Structure formats: structure tokens, C-alpha cells
Amino acid sequence: MTTDVSYERTQRELETSLGVLRYHETGEGPPLLLLHGSGPGVTGWRNYRGVLADLAAHFRCLVLEFPGFGVSDPAEGHPMVMAQSAVGHFLDGLGLGAVDMIGNSMGGIVATKVAIDEPERVGKLVTIGGMGKSIFSSGPSEGIKLLMEFTDDPTRERLIRWLLSMVHDQALVTPELIEERWALATEPTTLEIARRMYSSKAFAASMAAAAASDVPPYWARLGKITAPTLLTWGRDDRVSPVDMAVLPMRDIPNAELHVFPKCGHWTMIEAREAWLCAVLAFLTRTDRTQR
């Protein structure tokens, strides 16, 4: 079994009508698609490199890099829309049917939308914060406000403030992490695409469009998800407060919720061992009561 998770050995490319989609592949077994979040300097590799070897011991792991985040080719349109489209192009390009999916933050929303719109593509679903709707907390959250401030006017200080909002343990925001994120976040094309979603102007326009639309938001259609679902959340998440989990936990027919204490938005990083234990137990379980 191959579980070499070095960056160079695992990187692959797939030609699609969206352009070249880049991804990382390692491990053998049932396919497991990992979808990354958004925010300055994010990539799929950076989200999942710390847990990839553990997951690859059980699955053929496929870490997709969404268009517009500096690794796969850039694409026109809203990053969220392009991300959902990329999932279908990617799975079809590899000749894959239903796969289990793990989605972090925005990636969790993307995976959730796929589970609603194309249920035949999703086996089991794991989300890491992000999806749902705030019930008790006001919006936008502290972390989203800091993200918009950085996107409007990127400075190192604003990047650091945003990074600190992502974690409970502030020591995780190291100088190396800051430099790594800064370099990609300020790359001109990547920054321009980020502004389509997270500039204050784009965010306000998106909220106005959603309010005027006759199409129900995805969180109002969670009851359509047939996939067994595990919601994982940091109790101290300042980007997507934990009360966002209540609606999907209640509305998704086969949903379970695991909340990790002393943990922020990056559950798979900050609560690594506990998160892996919960996720692997869920994904490898074969009991029929989930469906």
C-alpha cells in the first residue's frame, strides 16, 4: 500500500473543460475525495497534509485543488460555483462513481451541495465546520469579517489577525505558516479571484442576491441529503460558530455531530488525533443503521 505523502510524489494533473485540475493522490482502497476550504493562501495540500497518511492507510485519497486558489488553473465565475462544478468534472474525468467525501469549511458546503444536487456522487459525507446556518450567533462571524478586511486590503497584520481567529491555540500560527499563506494569498490572480467571493462589496452583493432569489438556499434543502453524514466542529470556532451545526444535525436524516473542545475552525489540525479517530470510525463502519 502506498502512503507516501510527499508533495512531489503525490501531485497529479487532470485535463478538463475547466482547465487543468491538480490534485494529490495516495493510498489504496475505496476512493475518498478531500475538499479544501477558502481563505488567504489555502490549498488542499495545506488543509490535509497532516492527516493524509492516516487516511491513506484505509482509502485511495484524492485531494482536489479547486480552480482559482493558485494551484489548479484559474476559472471564470464565482469560486464556490466553480468548485462545485470542478467536483463533477474531476470525478467524471477519473471515471469514478459514488465516493466518500470530506469537506473543510467551504469544501464542506461544496460537498453538501453535491450531496443535495447529485446524490449519486456521494457515499458518506464528512464536514468540518462551515456548513449550515447560524441560529444564535449574528453574522457575518468574527472570522468572516477579518477575512473580508484582509481581502479588501491585504496586509501581513490583517492576515495574522485572520489566522489567529481560525484556531483556539494561538501557538499554531507560526512565522512559517504566516509566510506560507502570505505568498499565495497576495499572488495577483489568486487575490483577484478571492475578491469575487470575500471582498466586502462581493459579500454584500451575494447577500442581496440571495435575499432576492426565489431559489431556496442550500441550508433549507438539507433534508434531501441521503448520504450518511458526520458533522465535525470545533467548539471554539470563531469563523463558523458551533450553533450553525444545529440545523444540519436536525435536518439531515442520517447525520451525526461530533464537537471537539478547545478547538477552532481547523478541526483536523487542532484536534487531529480525536478528529481522525471519529472520522475513521465513521467512514469504516459498515452497520446499516446509517442509511
Catalytic residues: 265
Which DSSP helix (H) or strand (E) runs through 231?
strand 229-234
The three grid cell numbers given for residue 184, joined into one nine-digit string: 499565495
Cα distances (Å, whole numbers) of residue 54 to 28, 57, 222, 229: 12, 5, 30, 20
Report the run of H or E that residue 205 belongs to, with start and end.
Answer: helix 200-212
8: CB partners within 8 A, 6+ apart: none
**What region, left, alpha or beta, does residue 130 occupy, with left being phi > 0 and alpha being psi -120 to 50 degrees?**
left
Dist CA 60 CA 1 (whole Å): 10
Q: Are 164 and 173 in contact (CB under 8 A)?
A: yes
- Looking at residue 37, the DSSP 8-state letter turns out to be -
